[in-house]
């Protein structure tokens, strides 16, 4: 929102983008509810629309670094969460990959990727671009 005097630019989301974001939440909730209830086929099938919409939202916000970073973090979070769900549904989550690490632990890769994306934004980009959103 603009400050008095208009020194900052408003961030306005087009209605068609907002509708897509809202639909994204619906798919995400269906995916996680299916996971919770053990509905493997439905849960796995909800990965695709959830992840695709997250990537489209990221693409559409690519010109606003703060939005891009947060939306990419969401996309990799959904990837991590989806992989974890698949490991549980297909019952290889607790199988040892190496040492004491299990296949489920591979979900840490996209989770950490999301943290690194946000760390870049908050620790590097934002301090150097104080005037930007």
Mean pLDDT of the chain: 91
Burial 5-38 (b: 16+ CB within 10 A, else e): eeeeeeeeeeeeeeeebeebeebbebbbebbeee
Token output for 82: 């989806």
| The pLDDT value given to residue 8 | 60
pLDDT surpassing 80 at residue 88: yes
| The pLDDT value given to residue 2 | 42
Q: What is the mean pLDDT of residues 54-60?
A: 95
* DSSP line for 25-57: HHHHHHHHHHHHHT-HHHHHHHHHHHHHHHHHH
| The pLDDT value given to residue 6 | 44
Question: pTM for the full model?
Answer: 0.87
Token output for 56: 């489209």
Token output for 3: 């400050």
Q: What is the mean pLDDT of residues 27-44?
A: 97
Of residues 93 and 4, which shows the higher confidence score? 93
**Domain ranges across the chain:** 15-128
Distance between CA 18 and CA 57 in Å, rounded?
A: 10
What is the residue whose two structure tokens read 């990965």?
47
| The pLDDT value given to residue 112 | 98
Helix (H, G, I), strand (E, B) or coil at 7: coil
Token output for 59: 């693409």
Chain segment 96-128, per-residue pLDDT in tens: 999 999 999 999 999 999 999 999 999 999 999
The model's confidence at residue 10, banded by pLDDT at 50, 70 and 90, is confident
What is the residue whose two structure tokens read 């796995």?
44
């Amino acid at each position: 929102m603009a400050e008095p005097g208009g020194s900052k630019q408003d961030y306005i989301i087009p209605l068609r983008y907002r509708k897509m974001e809202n639909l994204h939440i619906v798919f995400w909730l269906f995916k996680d509810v299916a996971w919770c209830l053990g509905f493997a086929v439905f849960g796995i099938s909800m990965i695709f629309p959830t992840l695709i919409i997250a990537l489209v939202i990221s693409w559409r916000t690519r010109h606003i670094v703060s939005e891009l970073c947060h939306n990419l973090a969401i996309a990799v979070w959904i990837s991590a969460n989806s992989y974890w769900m698949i490991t549980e549904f297909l019952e290889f989550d607790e199988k040892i990959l190496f040492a004491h690490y299990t296949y489920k632990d591979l979900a840490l890769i996209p989770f950490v990727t999301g943290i690194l994306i946000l760390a870049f934004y908050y620790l590097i980009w934002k301090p150097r671009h104080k005037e930007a959103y």
